[in-house]
Amino acid sequence: MKFIIQQLFILTTFFLSVIPQYVYAQTYSIKGRVTSATDNSALGYSTLIIEPWGIATVADANGNFSFNKVAQGECIITVSSLGFQPLIAKLDVEKNTRLEFKLEELSFSLNEVSVMGKQRKGGEKVDIGQSAIEYIQPTSLHDIMLLLPGSVVQSNSFSGFKQISVRQAGSDMNTSLGVGLIVDGVAMTNDGMRNQLAGYTPGTASSLDAEYSEKNPINQGNDLRYISTDHIESVEISKGISSAKFGDLSSGVIQVNSKKGQSPLRVRAKADLKNKLAYIGKGVQLGRNGGSLNLGVDYLHSMDDIREELEHFSRITAQAFYNNQWTTGLSKINLDARVNQTISVNKARKDELAYKYHEHYISDYKKTGLMLKTSFEQDDAFVSKINFLASSEFVSENIDRLKFVTSGSSALSAPISNKPGENIGQFLPGMYYSAFQLDNKPVNIFAQLNAETKKYLSKSFLLKLDYGLDLKLIKNRGEGVIISDPTRPPYPFDNTYIRPRRNIDIPAIINGAAYLQSDWIYYQNDDVLKLSVGIRATQMMNLPDNYVLKNKAILDPRINLSYILNTNDNTSHSFRAGFGIESKLPTLDYLYPDKVYKDFNSLNSFSSNPDYRILIVHTHVFDVANKDLEVNQNKKYELGYDFEYNGLSVALTGFYENSQSGFGYSRYFTNLNYDLYREFKGDPVTDRTPAKEDYIRQDYNTFTSNSIVNNNNTVRKLGLEYRIVSPHIRAISSQIEVNGAYYSTKYSTTLPMQFYPGMMIANNPYPYVGIYNNYPSDKQSRLNTNVWINTHIPKFGIMFTNFFQCVWINSSQYNDERNIYPYQIMETDGTVRPVTDDELKLMSSFDPTYRYLKRAIFSVDYASENKPVSLMWNIKATKELNNKVKLSFFVDNIIDINPFYKDQYNRKNRSWTNPYFGLEVFLNF
Amino acid sequence: MTKQYIHLSKALFLLYVFICTTTSAQSLLEYKNQGENLSPSETRYKHFHFNSQNRMLRTLFAHPTMEHQIASDTTISDTYQRRNNVSLNYAGAYLPNDYHIFEGNSFINYSVNASGVMYKQKFGTLYGSAEYSRGIDENIGWSSIRDFDTYAPYISSDSIGGNVNWEMYSIKGGYGFSLNDRWILGAQFSFKGEQAYRLTDPRLINTTSWLNFDLSSSYTSSQEQLLFFTLGYERNKQYMTERYWMPGLQDRFFHAYGFGMYNDIYSRVSFGYSRMHYIQGYNACLAYIQPLSNSSRIIASIEASYKDLKTEETSILNLYRSKTIQLNPSLEYLLNRGEFSLLVNAEAKFRIRTGYENIYDQVIIDKPNNIYDYRLISTRQNYNAFNREGLIQMKPSYNVCKNHTLSAIIGSHYFMREERYKSKPQYVENQWVEPHLGVGYQYRNNRSNLDFSLLYSQKMPISNIYDVSLATTDKIEYLDFQHAFNPYAFYANEYEAIRLNLCYIHRFKPFSVGLRAEAMLSNGHRLENVVYNNIIGFESSAPTISTNPDRYIERWGKMTLFVLF
């Protein structure tokens, strides 16, 4: 790490030293004020950005702003403030200038209201502003993703966790885990959650109980259900190559900007088939120089299946955002502070059996977040801005489960010792209650020190440097699995019994990173050439010495090049290219799995007389931690072309992503040897408790398997995204956006498959494990087109959207190498050897032992399933009354066309879809 | 105002006068305030009531151009000028004895609805309404689908039944504009979606949606005659799924096709099942209004519709299909003589439904993998239903003095329903008349309106025939008691009923506030000879009625609080 930081320091120094300090570019200041067009009141803390230079500032409480150094020539300034229509103006900077900007209150009576995402010129990043967020009536961040090319409508389910899908057909855990979520500059994480409980842990071979894995996103990234959109002012989404400032991600970035500053009292109520939501919020100015405080609270009640009255998701989120600014001379200090609280309760009883037997499942989730961000700005200094950001997040999730366990026909056993070797076990009753809790208390601390340097190398050439350090600490302070009575296991059918380990005993994850992002912007005659080069070095600093990631620097180079060519006839062409490596670090759960204890019955003598029963188990302990675990590194390539002509814009983005080291669980077989006592030496002992000596000792050899996390998952993504936005068509008062994507995604694994027939041969366990050169893969393709027709009639204060989603291609196909014979065999002593030709012959014959290693292959399993073209029509309408009340109604799937098709098995099939509808009232006082 | 609009404006003014005089602004508001019928009792209440003019209003306002006809007249300065309203409704009903088991016998619902009209000169008129409602219908038996009358006889059911909660969202929006001084064009869109669910086993969920599009034109002749013509498209979908929550429990789910018969092959014992229903419908409506300057005038209207229903099982089989044709002519005559006015309205409804059953065979399509698929081998047409309905009413009104009006009404409602099945001849018929008379009083001054009416009716049976020979034996069990006798017995009764309506509106300067109370009480009994003497097939704990004659009592009430602005 030290080496890397040194290298970065040298690199930075080099960059800065090559800048000729004597270079002179004529710059001027732009000062002014931002006010409301309605009543001329000051719009404090408005944001102003000057393009193409990308220089931003925030106005003070009185709406006054200043840019001290703006290069001579034309530029575009964008002014935005919460609750107001953003204003875009073109400036010709020839002298020190003073300007006054008057912003209109957001209303559908305005002529231009944007309710769609807006792609940034020269990039693939999409900005989604407040009017779009309000209009799409989101319940969570997931809903906002629908505005992006390639997205398709998904169900509005809150009961279960929903993976984030990025540039892919289908979804997978690694992509979802690799999506970076940045809220007000803070990298959010869910990597501290862990629940290693046999039968419970998702992704492991022994996972029996879906009730947990469906609801909780362990190793799958941030849970967007907990991010309320009511506290959000805008969202920026980048699916491509992100800035080096952002790390510990592999699948793009979602940047969320919270509401801040003054705003009217807003009340929102929404009801649809699954969700009921209410929000109230207001931003106030605290005296003349006291800053502003924006407060909001919302409540969401969601039921995925309305018949399941006790399985619901309820969430309350509250947020307070304080910001202030102090100006002294040419320097400014900005302060942002945020406190947010999320509380949710998920109570579930799966069925009437749960009622009958008084089972319960209660998930209690609390999250408290604190964020402090301060920046010091001085435009004319070499370091024009220094930011310091610190945040902490305290999460507490407690799952309280009372489970009724029935053993079925035969008596089940439970171990009671933690030691390996032979131990006395006990028989479980035919039915019993198992009470346990899963306690997670992740603490996430994030700190970032960042500096910016802006230097005009000439009047047309700006170099911007963004460099800094960040530190992330993740520590789970929870108690882990708490079992009140270890002799009553909740999942006795799985012989990987629990031996609780406290989460607090697991080391913290401490990741440090240094980054340098440089933007070289050349602007001449309206043409812009921008080269962004960045590098990020990350190190996991608190790993045990035997982990390969210990002291390893992970380097993520990223480069983006864009050229915007503006011609004189309102036409512009933009060419983009990029390459980058993004790395997702392993989570706490992947790094530190609990040891697996497996207990095998050595002597099992069950008698109707409890005094004569005896159970001896042989306990084996497996350390399933993978010390060789690497990061999941995703290589991304991107090419883009954008075209604009008189309001018509076309954007095409082609990409290729190759992630060869995704996390995944693989099943490994291990040989086992222990003593087995099952045959009496003489007559069966029935008048006392039998002892080992009464039995013939048998040397028992078998196999067992464990799930171990590896970097064995690969995801290859290839695709083309497109987006066509029409100018406002007066004849139909509409703007039309057509977007979509072709995605071809291949999910596969890089490890050979192991197969154990698991039967008895001549009263002995089957003696071989077959190892096959079969690498299962699943290839999915999707081509979709989304057509948004936004009809805006300012005279009537109406916005009406017709949204058509057409999926042209939707196919999936399973494949593997179709090797029916193993290439290696594992013996009962653990040795692995190649398969001989003679053995192959035996396998292909009816040999009583070897024939079981021949895998059956059915052609239908490899057939592709191609769904026919499907169409879905969704509508949304909003009527505004007096700029105070908005009434909205939406229907998804109002009409759908899902033709009949022949499925993978050549049977006639068809997808059923249902309309989904709801309404919303929005009050603005 | 330009010359070309003079004709139209005059016609519109007269139309408004017509509405004020023949129906009163009060009635119009009453019509505008009405949301969806949220219970079968409310639907029965509205079969006929004292404000008979609302029936024609409903017909006229079904034309999207009508709102523009009214709204574009800026000379109107009465209550109706307050074109936006918000109302809160609460209603409840109870039938303690005989009831239609597919509907349930207790209904509680509440709703909030808002509607508005926005007129912009040169641009046209935009109008719309939205409603959210929820409620509970209790003791439903032997039908798992909502709005069974639309899908009958192809209903599906479990044998348990229970209470059904529901939540409904509806929206309507339309736009009308003047093409020239004679023609107005308009379009209308409406959507209604309902989610109904049962919280007891077998747990049921129904998602039903109705989507309608209408295109309309109206023409004003040089003699100030108005002609409306509308073409509409309708699409309905009902998704139904039910299954047992309690592990291990299974039951038989019936796919019925009338008179208690059900598809034995597909009515399997299982943990649950799902089904989809699709309807495509088309309708046309023509209305004519005589010159409004006449002291006596006629309004005539005729509506025709066609509906094509298909069912779809999870196995993608389309077991049933029905085609329904409906015709609904109506005529209204109004005479104005000073303080005296007379309204006569006559209306008829004819509905013919033809049912089809598809027969499938299972064929092997992939022998090595043992995969089967279905093949349609035959379609048979056996089921027919015919409903006839008629209403004639006469309503004289007299303005006693400036603020007080007295009215009376006399009329009769006629209804006949018959169902028949060809291959195994079955026949059911109910036929009755319900003469009625009522009195009303209206008071209005500058600040307030008061409306009160009371209507008495008596249902008199004409003919009731139950010729169903599917009696359950030891070997075969039918659902004839549940699916044929139950509805038959519900209609084979006689009773007396009263309908009450009280409405008060108080005007404040920027808005008006109103309160309306409506109630209906029916009291009678099933006819003595309407008895079920056979063995009941699949006897279960599902809600049902008795085999012997029982009393028929229905109580329904509704309160509405509304604001007009």
Taking an 8 Å cut-off on Cβ atoms, the answer to whether A905 and B369 are in contact is yes
Which residues of chain B have a CB within 8 Å of the CB of A894?
A: 191, 209, 211
Q: Residue B239: which of A352, A905, A912 has the nearest Cβ? A: A912
- Distance of alpha carbon A473 from alpha carbon A450, whole angstroms: 18
Which residues of chain A have a CB within 8 Å of the CB of B371?
A: 860, 905-907
**Count of residues in chain B:** 565
pLDDT on residue B534: 87
Distance from CA of A505 to the nearest CA of B (A): 40
Structure tokens at B509: 């300067």
pLDDT on residue A289: 81
Probe site for chain B from A306, A307, A919 (most B CB atoms < 10 A): A307
- Distance of alpha carbon A395 from alpha carbon A403, whole angstroms: 25
Question: Least CA distance to A893: which residue of chain B?
Answer: B209
- Intervals of chain A under pLDDT 50: 1-6, 8-9, 13-14, 17-23, 205-206
- Within A528-668, where are the H helices? 588-591
Q: How far apart are the first and last CA of chain B?
A: 27
Handedness of CA A633, A639, A643, A648 (dihedral sign): negative
Q: Residue B120: which of A795, A879, A887 has the nearest Cβ? A: A795
Contact by Cβ (8 Å): A499, A505: no
Give, as one character, the DSSP assignment of residue A726.
Answer: P
Closest to A370 in 3D by CA, of A338, A397, A399, A402: A338
Closest to A715 in 3D by CA, of A656, A757, A641: A656
pLDDT on residue A307: 86
∠ CA A275-A276-A278, nearest 5°, is: 135
Q: Which residues lie closer than 8 Å to A57 by C-beta, 6 or more apart?
A: A47, A48, A65, A66, A67, A332, A377
Chain B residues whose C-beta sits inside 8 Å of any chain A C-beta: 114, 116, 118, 120, 123, 126, 128, 130, 132, 167, 169, 171, 173, 191, 193, 195, 197-199, 201, 203-205, 207, 209, 211, 235, 237, 239, 245-247, 274, 276, 312, 316, 365-366, 369, 371-374
Contact by Cβ (8 Å): A384, A377: yes
- Within B313-377, where are the H helices? none
Give, as one character, the DSSP assignment of residue B69.
Answer: H
Handedness of CA B399, B400, B406, B410 (dihedral sign): negative
Taking an 8 Å cut-off on Cβ atoms, the answer to whether A891 and B191 are in contact is yes
Pairing of strands A509-524, A496-497: unpaired
Structure tokens at B390: 């008629």
Contact by Cβ (8 Å): A391, A258: no
- Predicted ipTM beyond 0.90: no
pLDDT on residue A534: 95
Task: For chain B, say whether A861 makes contact (Cβ under 8 Å).
Answer: no
Taking an 8 Å cut-off on Cβ atoms, the answer to whether B203 and A271 are in contact is no
- Distance of alpha carbon B59 from alpha carbon B80, whole angstroms: 18
Read off the pLDDT of residues B363-419 as tens digits, 9 standing for 90 and up. Answer: 888 877 778 888 899 999 999 999 999 999 999 999 998 889 999 999 999 999 999
Which phi-psi region, left, alpha or beta, contains residue A612 (left: φ > 0; alpha: ψ -120 to 50)? Answer: alpha
- Intervals of chain B under pLDDT 50: 1-10, 13-14, 16-24, 75-81
Which residues of chain B have a CB within 8 Å of the CB of A895?
A: 211, 235
Q: What is the dihedral of CA A486, A490, A493, A496, to 10 degrees?
A: -50
Tokens 């997978």 locate to A172
Closest to A596 in 3D by CA, of A218, A198, A194, A208: A198
Which residues of chain B have a CB within 8 Å of the CB of A856?
A: none
**Helix (H) / strand (E) containing A844:** helix A837-844
Q: Which residues lie closer than 8 Å to A838 by C-beta, 6 or more apart?
A: none
Contact by Cβ (8 Å): A464, A454: yes
Query: How crowded is the C-beta side of B244, counted as CA atoms within 13 Å?
Result: 15
Q: How far apart are the first and last CA of chain A?
A: 54
Structure tokens at B414: 């006629």
Contact by Cβ (8 Å): A777, A726: no
Closest to A413 in 3D by CA, of A619, A218, A174: A619
Phi, psi of B81 (to 5 degrees): -60, -30
Distance from the Cα of residue B247 to its chain's centroid: 39
- Distance of alpha carbon A859 from alpha carbon A814, whole angstroms: 11
Which residues of chain A have a CB within 8 Å of the CB of B195?
A: 273, 306
Burial A894-903 (b: 16+ CB within 10 A, else e): bbbebeebee
